[in-house]
Structure 1
Amino acid sequence: MLDLSRIRAISLDLDDTLWPVLPTLKAAEAAQHAFLLDHAPATAALLQDAAEAQRIRQSVRDDFVHLSHDMTHFRQQFIRRALQQSGGDEALVEAVFAQFFAARNRVTWFAEVEDALAWLSSRYPLVAVSNGNAQLDLVGLSPWFVASTSAREVGVAKPDRRIFAAASARAGIDLPAFLHVGDDAELDVQGALACGMQAAWVQRQELDHHQRSEAGQALRWPLSSPPPQALVRNLTELCGLLGRPAP
């Protein structure tokens, strides 16, 4: 159960917590492909081969293990390697990435997100904590947040304590006074609990990879570790636990 008296700030994951990430990434891949068709058709053809694209992805992961937390670096190197292997012009890397990145930041928030963030931000400082490379100002959510931190900026990814500590420092509030909200049981919840934060696990019923439960049935914590203080299906449920009256 949440200890409301402890909460002085809230940190939130982004992908699959505030918007569905899979359709966003598919759209970003499509934008990348369209640009390559016009400017490097051989590269576009190469990446249409799923096995070849996976081989390139894995080669980038293998060669840059020390930068596995940096999704921007990964995408840029993936594009570079695809251009190299198809005889394309490496000078196109930045332009191709710009197409991908612009689409990656065109997201569709879950239905209740704007209303919930408005209510939450009127009561607590909100800080974004993400392993991805979406940017609050580009996705349109920056008005509700006082700060953000990402794996790329900090140099480590969740569940590493240092990314949560960076969020704490940017808000000027100690970690034990934070409630962290996210959809990943290990990266978000276990990472936050290990830092002495409280945590809320969000399992949206519209996402196939989230835990499904019938109406009225409680969500089940899937790990052997202690569960978080809250298990919710969306931010509306979270707001209710934090004291927002039912409509």
Structure 2
Amino acid sequence: MIKCITFDLDDTLWAVDPVVKAANQTLFDWLYENAPLFHQQFTLRDLGTLRQQALAAEPEISYSVTRIRKAVLKLGLTQAGYPEQQVAELSDAAFDVFLRARQNVVFFEHALKALADLKTAGYQLGAITNGNADIHSTGLSSYLDFQFSADHVGVEKPDAKIFTAMLNHTKLKPENVIHIGDNPQHDVLGAKSAGLWGVWVNLYQQPWRENVAPDATVTSLDQLVGAVDKIAACKRARL
């Protein structure tokens, strides 16, 4: 029996690129006022170079977008000439500004309706994300019961450990859970390799290029309830 449905967040329930673009602009506006040396030396385009440098220095943080972002800010502020104590203070404040702005998402059409319908149907709902969107700050806490992120678990999808953390929390078997997401490797194959059912959100109708097929594919979020119903019926038929 299907008892729980988990969702990826970025590019599954909303488009992430415009969110991060706007959050980066908010960050740079704040840096202009509060860290002018940084703003004088770097542009938005330099964030990619700083990210490469930060990851080269600390490859162990690659699973965490939060740790990467903080490392980028510290590196940039240091290169801009700020002393160590000020780097720590400014980087913490700047990250908080970015993180708040990063929660300003615009949901895809039918996203909230699908969540509401699945909640009403009696499923436990949760999020499993590699990003640092927060279900409370994005307005999802009335729909989703829990969240697991790469930042907190210490690994990112498709690592089975993040799915196992969810299973331990819900006390469910893998076959009782459907995971829904847009990324073929991180979401669908990651979920299926952990024993879950995997639904591919393919809003842009891209070809499937992996050897293992998803259990269902939706090209619009108003198809989610039907996809879950089919998998639930399939599961019952196997019993």
Q: Same fold (TM over 0.5)?
A: yes
Q: Tell me, yes or no, if structure 1 residue 45 matches structure 2 residue 44.
A: no
Once superposed, what is the RMSD of the aligned Cα atoms? 1.5
Indicate the residue corresponding to 1:161 in structure 2.
Answer: 160
Q: Identical aligned pairs, as a percentage?
A: 34
Corresponding residue to 2:209 among 222, 225, 228: 222
Indicate the residue corresponding to 2:236 in structure 1.
Answer: none
- Measured against aligned partners, the alpha-carbon deviations of 1:78-135 in whole angstroms (never above 9, x if no partner) come to 1111111011331211111111000001111112111110011122101100000111
Looking at structure 2, the residues matched to 226 and 49 of structure 1 have their Cα atoms a distance apart, in angstroms, of 39
Shift of 1:172: 2.2
Aligned CA distance change for structure 1 residues 87 and 149 (closer, same or farther; 3 Å): same
- Measured against aligned partners, the alpha-carbon deviations of 1:184-211 in whole angstroms (never above 9, x if no partner) come to 0011111111111111000113xxxx62
Looking at structure 2, the residues matched to 221 and 38 of structure 1 have their Cα atoms a distance apart, in angstroms, of 46
Shift of 1:49: 6.5
The answer to whether the 8 A contact 2:109-2:221 is kept is no
- With the length of structure 1 as denominator, give the TM-score of the two structures: 0.87
Indicate the residue corresponding to 2:139 in structure 1.
Answer: 140
Q: Tell me, yes or no, if structure 1 residue 194 matches structure 2 residue 170.
A: no
Unpaired runs of 5+ residues, structure 2, are 231-239
Looking at structure 2, the residues matched to 243 and 65 of structure 1 have their Cα atoms a distance apart, in angstroms, of 42
The answer to whether the 8 A contact 2:217-2:227 is kept is no
Matching residue's letter, 1:178: V
Aligned length: 225
SS in 1 for 2:179: strand
Shift of 1:58: 0.5
Corresponding residue to 2:21 among 2, 14, 26: 26
Indicate the residue corresponding to 1:13 in structure 2.
Answer: 8
Which runs of 4 or more aligned residues in structure 1 lie more than 4 Å from their structure 2 counterparts after TM superposition? none
Looking at structure 1, the residues matched to 164 and 228 of structure 2 have their Cα atoms a distance apart, in angstroms, of 23
SS in 1 for 2:136: helix
Unpaired runs of 5+ residues, structure 1, are 1-5, 212-219
Q: Tell me, yes or no, if structure 1 residue 75 matches structure 2 residue 62.
A: no
- With the length of structure 2 as denominator, give the TM-score of the two structures: 0.89
